[in-house]
Structure formats: structure tokens, C-alpha cells
Amino acid sequence: MHSEKYKKLVWEKKEDRVILAELLRQGEVVISSTDTVYGFLAPLEPKSYKRIQELKKTRDQRPFLILVGSLEKIYHFVDGKNITDRMKRFLSTCWPGPVTVIFRAREGLPHFLVSERGTVALRVPSHEGLLSLLSEFDGLFSTSSNRTGEVTPASFS
């Protein structure tokens, strides 16, 4: 294995964020700090979905959380007619932040993004570096970087 592939990048360095964005555009799965836990980040592609399942050692077919960079980006995943002014006010009070909201998924989304119940889980994180990265994507998969059933890691190492 090439050691560059496992280089530790830091959010504060713009050149590291550029590298991270490029890795994600290439379909790579990365481990990252977030505003909650260390987690896997990956592009919203079937290959990435399967790779995260392999890393977590899960056979569960549930979709993963999708991080988005702003309230406006939820419309890639949710039908706008289902978002009332009241809902927008609620979301603006808890986002960015560690609150995941389950929405009825927009028609036509790929199956690996949508639960059996026809829902999608979205969150706008409160993490400056991650928000900067998310501005370049419609959304990214996110889930804790532990294997299913194991303790969530408290540090990168």
C-alpha cells in the first residue's frame, strides 16, 4: 500500500481540502472528523455505498446519512412541496448542527439513498471545513467509522 494514500490531512489547510475533494470525486471513501464523530465520507455512488458496507462489515441494506452543505441542497433529495415555511424555520434553528432529519425522499432517487420506508436522512453539519467541502457536492455519505456493533472511535488513530 502506498503511504500517500493514507496521509493525514487537516481541515485548516486549503490544499488538504483540495486533495480531499479530489479523492472524493475519484470515488474514494475517507475517514474524517465531523461535528459529531470520526466518520466515513464518500460520494453518493453505488460503489461507495458498497465500500462503506464492507468497511463497516454490515449486510444491512439501510442507506447512510447524507451530509449537505446548506438548507437549499436538501431539494436534491426532498420534494420542495413537502417543505413548509414552518419546517424551514425549524431547520434554520438546528442547522448547521448535529441534528439529523428524516424526510420523505424525492421521487426517482437511487435505491441506495432511500430507506425501505421511502425516506432519506439529511444533516447540515456545524463544521467549517466540512461545509467548505460540501459546497462542492450535492451531498456526501456519512456514517461513523467503526465496524457495525463496535464502539465509535473517539480519535483519528
Strands (DSSP E) found in 9-126: 30-32, 39-43, 65-67, 101-104, 119-123
Predicted pLDDT at 3: 43
Helix residue spans in 26-149 (DSSP H)? 46-56, 85-94, 128-134
Question: Nine-digit cell at 37?
Answer: 464523530
Q: What is the pTM of this model?
A: 0.90
71-102 per-position pLDDT tens digit: 999 999 999 888 999 999 999 999 999 999 99
